[in-house]
Amino acid sequence: MNQKKQNNVNRLLDIFPVVIEHKIQWSDMDAYGHVNNVAYFRYIENARIAYYEAMDKYIYEEETGTRFVVAKTGCTFKLPLTYPDTLLIGARVTEIKGSHIAMKYCIVSTAQQAVAADADAVIVSYHYGRGKKVRFPKELAENITAIEGWNFAG
């Protein structure tokens, strides 16, 4: 991709501090000749995992037993994707409140230089040992605010 096209694609993801690259696989396609809608959720899951790694979630999980559960998710499909294409998937946290965080995602097609889908999710902090929701961990909230460039309000 030439530099001008790359800059246009990158601009679409300016507000996303975590961006991953994913090449569409032939197996992502369905009988209608485009990427099946289920694949979009796998793409955003991969971006969410990258965000979790950036905020040290897995280290915290092992130390405390607190895990995250996807409580709600949705996706708005804006244009069809086809093989071959390389996607850029952005992830960001837009809210930390009580026991949950809200996340936004953006899937960009580099071939089409356009947003293919916008998605969101609500992630709940859950302690399996106690069998209940728990307040979102302050340590991870501080990591998120550093990633997002916010001032942590505690």
| 3-state secondary structure (DSSP) of residue 29 | strand
Query: What digits encode the pLDDT tens for the residues 42-96?
Result: 999 999 999 999 999 999 999 999 999 999 999 999 999 999 999 999 999 999 9
- In the chain, the number of structural domains is 1
CATH of the domain at 84: 3.10.129.10
Q: If you average pLDDT over residues 1-28, what whole number do you get?
A: 85
Q: What is the pLDDT of residue 25?
A: 97
Q: What is the pLDDT of residue 11?
A: 85
Q: Give the range of the structural domain holding residue 8, as residue numbers without chain letter.
A: 3-142
Question: 152 in a domain, yes or no?
Answer: no
Question: 153 in a domain, yes or no?
Answer: no
Of all residues in the chain, what percent carry a pLDDT higher than 70?
Answer: 93
Question: 149 in a domain, yes or no?
Answer: no
pTM (2 d.p.): 0.92
> Minimal CA–CA distance to 123: which of 75, 71, 73?
71
